[in-house]
């Protein structure tokens, strides 16, 4: 279909006016409104020849991002301008200097943070991780970079149906791995929920659609239940003269899938599939007292579950979230979660950082400010690899938290599973470095002791104590990990410097002069990665005088310099060889396989099946180019898929099964049910006699009338396996049949 320029022009103006409808109430200043108009005109002109994958004019995207920024985040003029211009430097002729000339240094700095890193990367670097690190580097200066980036990602996810399947998986995985947790950490609950749901739609399309269908079918029953449940609560609150609003909130599709997938709970048994939210319109100084009064009303009417009280008004979450959650028993015997909060708390919960800033008192540092301080500390380590940096950053996006106390009663928030050593580093890096032990609730505990909410901790230090390598095995906060790594690196550097002096003294005793060029031959001889490691081992006494003496005897001066000459000539072509090796890696393993087509050219290439998910024909899969083991095939639903697709998309290749009908693949199933005489015989007969499937191993265990069996068997493909599982489910006494992904 040929686009109509006049129709598109009218549509662009309509979308722009829609944006202004939300922006103008937040931007009363006339000069700022002029700047927004200028940004729109520049963006329209810069992107005029560009189109999205859907065929639409590209300008639709920046307008949509700007609308998310203002409508769903509540940000102001600068953010709207940056959202409209966020792609111009990367995709058009405009430069950062042009942006600074038109809009000033603040807008230019934010646009720079939003512009992807360009240039050539070698094949060992993750471009996604490098780009994410660049965004986070700007976060410590201006958090609007991250907020606009999240808005950009949200609109891309909303329009992802127009992308190729492999691109959909890469973007959805990256979103689940980083952007959804980041939105959560900034308190953007609605956006975080939508990002997770949209990601699931592309990563697990069948599971997503199944949950959507079940929610739709149960919608009328749910709404009727909510009306009946809330009626007596409304009556009591009206009698108290409170101004309030009651909403029913359905659990997100992703949260439901998580419970089904990770905890093995069927959809029908998820008791918190929806929650009742009571929002009180009260002054800030009366919030706590009115919330607890409302709690009293709810628990007078319905029996509470003691272990399900969550008090986030006394101890707000690290993302600023405040609410009181209680789970109560309804008259129909169902557990129902009731969330009680003020209007202010609800706005902070829904709109996150922007609302937090609106209500922030000028002289107080909140949990979000503390988090940004932690990120600044994380950024101090500029030498860290980008992928390691992203992993460390993810540790700062934890969702489960504990609240612990110093000996003087000061409250500290830590991630769940934090240890006594994490707490020591939370106090101060010097306290952590010299931590000898800890007292938790006046009892002596080791450094690896896992803390619980409510613990009071006293740290015992000694100036003789220094960080140890094994500390990295049990600390959980990024701050502790970064400080320990930095201390160990500094210590290693110090020992290496001493080792170099020792080495030169030893050479003088052996009547040799040290030539810096000799180091490459030494590294080759001792099989070490770099000179610091060599000198470190000399300093620690691991490499002895006798070993150095043996090296000089074996090599000799003549062979020494001959070796160096060859080494230098090879070094000149090393980079070229590395590139050729990577480009030819797919073809290098070609042995004419007929089971799988790999890559854009759909070649028949050798591969191995990843043991972490044990894919079989029929499964949706992708290939991952490993450093040493060729191509490994993973299922799209593999536990490691999200991290691989997010951090290493440049090593992912397309793969699809073909012509595997006559082949058999090993997989496993778990069968559970009610134990009765002959049940194992019925199951094995169905597998062997009816379905003609060969079994490799089986084991059955029975406990209190319930049996569980694990069977490994050979099937042709996913369809064949699903057919077998459906027939097993119909065997009398069998209650569930599930596939075991890991061989």
Tell me which residues are annotated as active site.
Answer: 90-91
Whole-Å CA distances, 89 to 95, 115, 116: 5, 7, 9
Query: Using CA atoms, how far apart are residues 735 and 721, in angstroms rounded to an integer?
Result: 17
* Local structure of residue 168 (DSSP, 8 states): H
The C-alpha atoms of residue 324 and residue 193 are separated, in whole angstroms, by: 20
Can you say whether the dihedral through the CA atoms of 35, 36, 39, 45 is positive or negative? negative
Checking 269-275 for CB contacts under 8 A at 24+ apart, the result is: 271/334, 271/335, 271/336, 272/327, 272/335, 272/336, 272/337, 273/218, 273/222, 274/222, 274/226, 274/248, 274/249, 274/250, 274/336, 275/248, 275/249, 275/251, 275/336, 275/337, 275/338, 275/339
- 325 phi, psi to nearest 5 deg: -110, 130
Residue 275 contacts residue 249 (beta carbons within 8 Å): yes
Q: How far apart are CA 199 and CA 169, in angstroms?
A: 8
Ordered alpha helix ranges (H), 240-312: 253-263, 287-301
Alpha-carbon distance of 50 to 707, in angstroms, equals 62
Number of Cα atoms under 13 Å in the Cβ half of residue 119: 8
| E strands in 183-262 | 244-250
What are the start-end ranges of the H helices in 404-530?
A: 420-427, 429-433, 478-509, 519-526
Q: Which of 379, 374, 394 is nearest to 647 (CA)?
A: 394
Helical (H) or strand (E) element with 415: strand 411-415
The runs of H, that is alpha helices, within 529-687 are: 531-540, 545-583, 585-588, 641-647, 679-685
Q: Is 724 helix (H, G, I), strand (E, B) or coil?
A: helix
Between CA 158 and CA 153 the distance in angstroms is 9
What whole-number distance in Å separates Cα of residue 274 and Cα of residue 263?
A: 18
Report the C-alpha gap between 710 and 687 in whole angstroms.
13
255: CB partners within 8 A, 6+ apart: 193, 196
Cβ contact 342:295 at 8 Å: no
**Cα separations (Å) of 37 from 24, 32, 544, 560?**
12, 9, 72, 70
**What is Dmax (Cα atoms) for the chain?**
100
């Amino acid at each position: 279909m040929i686009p109509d320029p006049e129709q598109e022009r009218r549509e662009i103006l309509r979308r722009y006016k829609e944006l202004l409808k939300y922006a103008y109430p937040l931007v009363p200043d006339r000069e700022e409104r002029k700047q927004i108009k200028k940004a729109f005109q520049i963006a329209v002109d810069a992107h005029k020849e560009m189109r999205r994958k859907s065929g639409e004019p590209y300008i639709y995207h920046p307008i949509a991002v700007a609308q998310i920024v203002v409508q769903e985040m509540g940000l102001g003029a600068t953010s709207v301008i940056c959202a409209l211009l966020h792609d111009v430097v990367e995709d058009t002729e405009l430069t950062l200097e042009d942006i600074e000339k038109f809009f000033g240094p603040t807008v230019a700095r934010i646009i720079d943070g939003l512009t992807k890193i360009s240039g050539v990367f070698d094949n060992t670097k993750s471009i996604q991780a490098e780009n994410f690190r660049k965004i986070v580097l700007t976060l410590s200066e201006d958090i609007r970079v991250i907020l606009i980036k999240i808005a950009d990602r949200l609109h891309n996810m909303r329009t992802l149906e127009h992308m190729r399947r492999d691109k959909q998986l890469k973007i959805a995985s990256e979103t689940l791995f980083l952007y959804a947790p980041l939105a959560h950490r900034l308190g953007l609950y609605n956006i975080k929920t939508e990002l997770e749901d949209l990601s699931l739609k592309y990563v697990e399309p069948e599971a997503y659609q199944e949950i959507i269908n079940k929610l739709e079918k149960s919608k009328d029953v749910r709404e009727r239940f909510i009306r009946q449940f809330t009626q007596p609560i409304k009556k009591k609150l009206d009698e108290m003269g409170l101004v309030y609003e009651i909403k029913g909130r359905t659990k997100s599709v992703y949260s439901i899938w998580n419970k089904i997938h990770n905890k093995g709970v069927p959809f029908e048994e998820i008791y918190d599939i929806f929650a009742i939210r009571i929002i009180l319109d009260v002054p800030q100084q009366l919030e706590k007292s009115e919330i607890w009064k409302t709690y009293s009303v709810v628990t007078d009417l319905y029996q509470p579950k003691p272990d399900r009280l969550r008090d986030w008004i006394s101890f707000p979450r690290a993302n600023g979230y405040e609410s009181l959650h209680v789970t109560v028993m309804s008259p129909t015997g169902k557990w129902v979660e009731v969330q009680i909060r003020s209007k202010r708390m609800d706005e902070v919960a829904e709109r996150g950082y922007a609302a937090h800033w609106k209500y922030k008192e000028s002289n107080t540092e909140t949990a979000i400010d503390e988090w940004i301080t932690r990120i600044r500390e994380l950024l101090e380590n500029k030498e860290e690899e980008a992928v390691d940096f992203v992993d460390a950053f993810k540790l700062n996006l934890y969702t489960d938290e504990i609240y612990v106390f110093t000996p003087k009663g000061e409250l500290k928030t830590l991630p769940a599973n934090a240890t006594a050593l994490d707490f020591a580093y939370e106090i101060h890096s010097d306290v952590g470095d010299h931590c000898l032990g800890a007292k938790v609730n006046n009892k002596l505990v080791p450094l690896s002791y896992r803390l619980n909410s409510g613990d009071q901790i006293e740290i015992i230090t000694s100036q003789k104590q220094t960080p140890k390598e094994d500390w990295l095995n049990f600390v959980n906060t990024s701050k502790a990990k970064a400080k320990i790594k930095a201390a160990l690196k500094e210590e290693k550097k110090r020992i290496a410097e001493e080792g170099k002096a020792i080495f030169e003294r030893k050479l003088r005793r052996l009547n040799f002069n040290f030539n810096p060029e000799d180091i490459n031959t030494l590294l080759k001889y001792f099989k070490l990665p770099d000179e610091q490691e060599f000198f470190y081992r000399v300093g620690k006494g691991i490499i002895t005088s006798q070993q150095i003496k043996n090296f000089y005897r074996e090599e000799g001066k003549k062979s020494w310099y001959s070796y160096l000459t060859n080494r230098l000539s090879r070094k000149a072509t090393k980079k070229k060889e590395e590139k050729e090796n990577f480009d030819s890696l797919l073809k290098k393993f070609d042995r004419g396989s007929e089971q799988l087509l790999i890559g854009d050219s759909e070649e028949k290439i050798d591969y191995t099946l990843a043991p972490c998910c044990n894919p079989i024909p029929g499964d949706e899969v992708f290939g991952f180019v490993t450093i040493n083991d060729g191509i490994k095939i993973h299922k799209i639903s593999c536990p490691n898929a999200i991290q691989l697709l997010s951090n290493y998309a440049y090593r992912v290749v397309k793969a699809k099964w073909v012509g595997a009908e006559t082949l058999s693949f090993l997989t496993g199933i778990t069968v559970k049910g009610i134990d009765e005489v002959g049940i194992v015989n019925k199951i094995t007969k169905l597998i062997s006699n009816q379905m003609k499937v060969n079994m490799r191993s089986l084991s059955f265990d029975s406990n209190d009338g319930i049996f569980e069996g694990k069977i490994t068997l050979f099937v042709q493909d996913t369809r064949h396996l699903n057919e077998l599982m459906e027939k097993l489910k119909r065997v009398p006494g069998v209650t569930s049949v599930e596939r075991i992904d890991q061989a």
